[in-house]
A and B are shown apart, each in its own frame.
Chain A
Amino acid sequence: MNEITPTAVERAERLQGMGCKRKRVEDVRFVQGKGNYVDDLKLSGMLYGDFVRSPHAHARIRNIDASKAKALPGVIAVLTAADLKPLGLHYMPTLAGDVQAVLAEEKVLFQNQEVAFVIADDRYVAADAAELVEVEYEDLPVLVDPLKAMAPDAPLLREDIKDKTEGAHGKRKHHNHIFTWEIGDKEATDAAVAKGEVTIKELISYQRVHPCPLETCQCVASFDKIRGELTVWGTFQAPHVIRTVASLISKIPEHKIHVISPDIGGGFGNKVGAYPGYICAVVASIVTGRPVKWVEDRIENLSATAFARDYHMTTEIAATRDGRVTGLRVHVVADHGAFDACADPTKWPAGFFNIVTGSYDFPVAHVSVDGVYSNKAPGGVAYRCSFRVTEAAYCIERAMDILAQKLGIDPAELRMKNLIRREQFPYTSALGWEYDSGDYHLALRKAMDSVGYDELRAEQLERQEAFRRGETRELMGIGVAFFTEIVGAGPSRNCDILGIAMFDSAEIRIHPTGTVIARLGTKSQGQGHETTYAQILATELGLPADDITVEEGNTDTAPYGLGTYGSRSTPVSGAATAMAARKIKAKAQMIAAHLLEVHDDDLEWDIDRFRVKGNPERFKTMKELAWAAYNRVPPGMEPGLEAVNYYDPPNMTYPFGAYICVVDVDVDTGVVKVRRFYALDDCGTRINPMIIEGQIHGGLTEAFGIAMGQEIRYDETGNLTGPSFMDYFVPTAVETPKWETDWTTTPSPHHPIGAKGVGESPNVGGVPCFANAVNDAFKFLGSTHISMPHDNWRTWMAADKLGLHG
């Protein structure tokens, strides 16, 4: 060789593979305003759709008169349920086995429900015309409190299914009942709770919130009448599933539907499901023969598409006097709104809520969940968490603190005592999950040492004394949370959506010059997949990440996949990427053996090349092998170098973390100041530490918003009290605390690269950590549980209730 031979370290660095802080390739277009989002799309002859929505939460529709709207110049059509009914499209199937009204037929069931769809050649005209549609309503009694949904005299909401005694998940026992889901050993748990030396019981409610990505839900539908083909560009986290659903609903053959997710401005679970806007845009395009754009505004987003949480969890823990937990019993009332449109795997109507035993070694547990209807928007999506996992984490972490209080021991000490021990992994929980790996004690110890936990507690004690002496009006709270996530759905034996197993996929093609295109079934909404999948491939294939294009979101070119949510991209598609790369590498090894005239087994892999064992000067780089794959393959071998993998994970992955938060609470104003927030995450193998840190910052900020102020609140008439950024709390840079991040690394034993997924952990762990901190501030005064959100008013009220205002 006539050039200076790079060292192994230099060669590895050049690849920009796993573990390095590679700068994001997406950013080059985003920082120049050259992203390509749905609303940027402009097609020739494109029309705009806008909804007429219900002002009432529950009312019978007496009449719809669209004549004035239709007469407005520029209006093309006005669709109502009467137009959709002959097509069988006035209702659409939901992912949860229910149906949802696309346009309300006889009555409306929540405020801002879709009633008519106006199509015009300009978005301003469409909005004008929507105001001209006259709808006559007759009010009906409204149900907003889920705890009253199954009262004998509760109003009948769903007349369309009133005679249906069998729901998607078993018997319905009341006209507002959707399902009851039970898991665990009831008898043993009842006995454990009855015999508990110490027990606690608390109704822990997780309020209704919204994922609220900065870009709302939107689509452009374009039907080509001549070819009979439909193209839909949309904000879809799961484009392939949308295509299948669109085909099943519209009867257009699946190969004639093209679904494209361009750049997406944040998703957080909001963009998994199908919404009436998509159906109406498609129908409108078929009817008019022109492309139709539908763009939701912020009020519509917060009030109609995909809320999250609204879980009301009566939680009981039994323990020994010395603080060992002996049983957990949880009963949940789950408010699903007017239609059951949760996006959970089919067999899991309450998602993976049975992760509620958390990180602790409970010998027995039992969970039952009652899903109910109410006069609120449908949804119940997994907002930046795996299915119902943040609810579970909030439930158990709050309950453990309440137990610690009752036992009179420190919350961290109680956790240390009950955490699953390292040698117990793989650990089967009382509610049936097999946790893959973890070193929980190490993580919590590291977190406590990092923040100086004992010193903080000592300071808190001093401050409490000072408060009692009247020297300060500030209380100090220390929140501890230890969470275990369950992500990467999922093994096909127990996870499917509409009967499609929840595998995911990667298709990789190496070009002759050694550059690569990789296509995946997932879809980034800001996670940086174009950067990180290329890093996995760079390490696996020995080709520079900069030479690898990652493409997602086009159902014509990408292999079928279930999409991005539930932190499943890295656990499932990341695994598929590695497995497909390994197929390619195996073929490359055979080509290398052929070229070097040795046996396959005489070769070894060295960063970016195969070399002859014991003779490192004889090698073929991957780049050389790519070229050879197109002209010098061994006799009998197919030319080319590409592979596809559909990865069906053997198990979920279980990321975990230890979070500690310190707050100062002004009892006279209710203002809670976050003094410090420390987050230690273990997501297994780390692909790009920069991106991980960024995701943790973002997730913690969302958790801060949820815990400290967010609520999609309805008054007793079902009227939304603030579904816009005027009222709905989205933290700005001023309120947002400063984040400290840390990590331990416990690779997943069953994942090809040991990665577990991380994007949602900070939401799961952050919410209970903030809540525990605020509660911790008040507990020495006898308070056991203050409900979220901990905004200034509620915090002031909590102080007032404790008699702190004289």
Chain B
Amino acid sequence: MSKVQVPSKSQVPSKIQVPSKIQVSMQINGRAVDALVEPRLLLIHFLREQQNLTGPHIGCDTSHCGACTVDFNGKSVKSCTLFAVQANGADILTIEGMAAADGTLHALQEAFREMHGLQCGFCTPGMITRAYRLLKENPDPTEEEIRFGISGNLCRCTGYQNIIKAIRYAAATLAGKTYQEAAE
């Protein structure tokens, strides 16, 4: 949305300069990408519109919802908070790069389906991408640690309970164990 404040006439430049584009290079899902981008282009728009990676979504304008979460140099990052130019040299993983090359789903992807950890699917790519990093940092998280760990990702459908189960299920799978439902 546009800002509603009307600029005074003196503030309005006679002609807005279209900024020049900047060359960026990065790894996205293991693929080298070179592109020319406007300096103000947000990373999420770069991924979705220039790279056709429409898995990460946009759910807010204040960096609260986490639907745009990607893995960025080994950290979970909301891709609406970065400009594409800041990703120069970065190694990025999106939901599209989560499955193995032969199409085998990642344990988290399987787990979300198995435990009914999604409904409308809109938060799911960001949620799974966040959970991916969470499990790298803490391979056997408690329920409380998961709740805290995904608190930057909003879901309006599931009430989180089955998302938490899904992450625990995936943690068990990745550790070569059988998932056991935590005692209520």
Whether B2 pairs with A31 at a CB distance below 8 angstroms is no
Stretch at the interface among A179-187, A391-399, A423-431, A522-530: A522-530
Contact partner of B157 (CB less than 8 A), chosen from A127, A526, A740, is A526
Complex CA–CA separation, A300 to B45 (angstroms): 19
- Check if B18 is an interface residue, CB within 8 A of chain A: yes
Please, what's the 1-or-0 string for A725-736, where 1 marks a CB less than 8 Å from any CB in chain B?
Answer: 110001011101
Whether A525 pairs with B120 at a CB distance below 8 angstroms is yes
Whether A725 pairs with B161 at a CB distance below 8 angstroms is no
Whether A526 pairs with B119 at a CB distance below 8 angstroms is yes
Contact residues of B: prevailing secondary structure: loop
Complex CA–CA separation, A524 to B112 (angstroms): 19
Contact partner of B156 (CB less than 8 A), chosen from A27, A730, A740, is A730
Q: Closest approach, in angstroms, between the C-beta of B119 and any C-beta of chain A?
A: 4
Q: Point out the residues of chain A lying under 8 angstroms from B62, CB to CB.
A: 298, 724-726
Whether A215 pairs with B119 at a CB distance below 8 angstroms is no
Q: Closest approach, in angstroms, between the C-beta of A111 and any C-beta of chain B?
A: 8
Q: Among residues 451 to 495 in chain A, which have CB atoms less than 8 Å away from a CB atom of chain B? A: none
Whether B159 pairs with A299 at a CB distance below 8 angstroms is no
- Check if B136 is an interface residue, CB within 8 A of chain A: no
Whether A299 pairs with B116 at a CB distance below 8 angstroms is no
Complex CA–CA separation, A103 to B9 (angstroms): 24
Please, what's the 1-or-0 string for A666-708, where 1 marks a CB less than 8 Å from any CB in chain B?
Answer: 0000000000000000000000001101110111111000000
Q: Point out the residues of chain B lying under 8 angstroms from A123, CB to CB.
A: 45
- Check if B28 is an interface residue, CB within 8 A of chain A: no
Contact partner of B184 (CB less than 8 A), chosen from A33, A37, A213, A740, is A740
Please, what's the 1-or-0 string for A168-179, where 1 marks a CB less than 8 Å from any CB in chain B?
Answer: 000000000000
Whether B156 pairs with A213 at a CB distance below 8 angstroms is yes
Query: Inter-chain contact count A-B, CB under 8 Å?
Result: 217
Which bracket fits the contact residues of B? 35 or more
- Check if B82 is an interface residue, CB within 8 A of chain A: no
Whether B65 pairs with A214 at a CB distance below 8 angstroms is yes
When C-beta atoms are compared, the residue in chain B nearest to A695 turns out to be B119
Instruction: State whether A33 and B4 are in contact (beta carbons under 8 Å apart), knowing that A27-B112, A298-B60 are contacts in the complex.
Output: no
Instruction: State whether A214 and B67 are in contact (beta carbons under 8 Å apart), knowing that A31-B105, A739-B159 are contacts in the complex.
Output: yes
Q: Closest approach, in angstroms, between the C-beta of A570 and any C-beta of chain B?
A: 15
- Check if B21 is an interface residue, CB within 8 A of chain A: no
The interface centre, meaning the residue of A30, A73, A215, A528 with most chain B CB atoms within 10 A of its CB, is A30
Contact partner of B59 (CB less than 8 A), chosen from A55, A215, A700, is A215
Q: Closest approach, in angstroms, between the C-beta of A678 and any C-beta of chain B?
A: 11
Q: Point out the residues of chain B lying under 8 angstroms from A72, CB to CB.
A: 16
Instruction: State whether A265 and B1 are in contact (beta carbons under 8 Å apart), knowing that A135-B6, A213-B156 are contacts in the complex.
Output: no
Whether A32 pairs with B160 at a CB distance below 8 angstroms is no
Q: Point out the residues of chain A lying under 8 angstroms from B114, CB to CB.
A: 23
Complex CA–CA separation, A28 to B112 (angstroms): 10
- Check if A363 is an interface residue, CB within 8 A of chain B: no
Please, what's the 1-or-0 string for A38-63, where 1 marks a CB less than 8 Å from any CB in chain B?
Answer: 01101000000011111100000000
When C-beta atoms are compared, the residue in chain B nearest to A115 turns out to be B4
- Check if B163 is an interface residue, CB within 8 A of chain A: yes
Whether A33 pairs with B120 at a CB distance below 8 angstroms is no
The interface centre, meaning the residue of A50, A738, A740 with most chain B CB atoms within 10 A of its CB, is A738
Complex CA–CA separation, A52 to B6 (angstroms): 10
Q: A730-B154, A732-B160 are in contact. List 16 more A-B contacts (CB 8 A).
A: A33-B54, A33-B94, A53-B4, A71-B15, A133-B2, A214-B154, A214-B156, A214-B157, A216-B59, A297-B1, A697-B159, A697-B162, A699-B159, A725-B154, A732-B150, A733-B148
User: Can you list 16 A-B pairs, Cβ within 8 angstroms, ordered by A?
Assistant: A30-B121, A31-B128, A35-B121, A51-B2, A55-B6, A124-B40, A214-B154, A265-B122, A298-B61, A298-B65, A526-B121, A694-B157, A701-B160, A702-B156, A730-B156, A732-B150
Residues of A participating in the B interface, judged by any CB pair closer than 8 Å: 23-24, 26-35, 37, 39-40, 42, 50-55, 68, 71-73, 112, 118, 123-124, 127-128, 130-135, 212-216, 263-266, 268, 296-300, 525-528, 690-691, 693-695, 697-702, 724-726, 730, 732-734, 736, 738-740
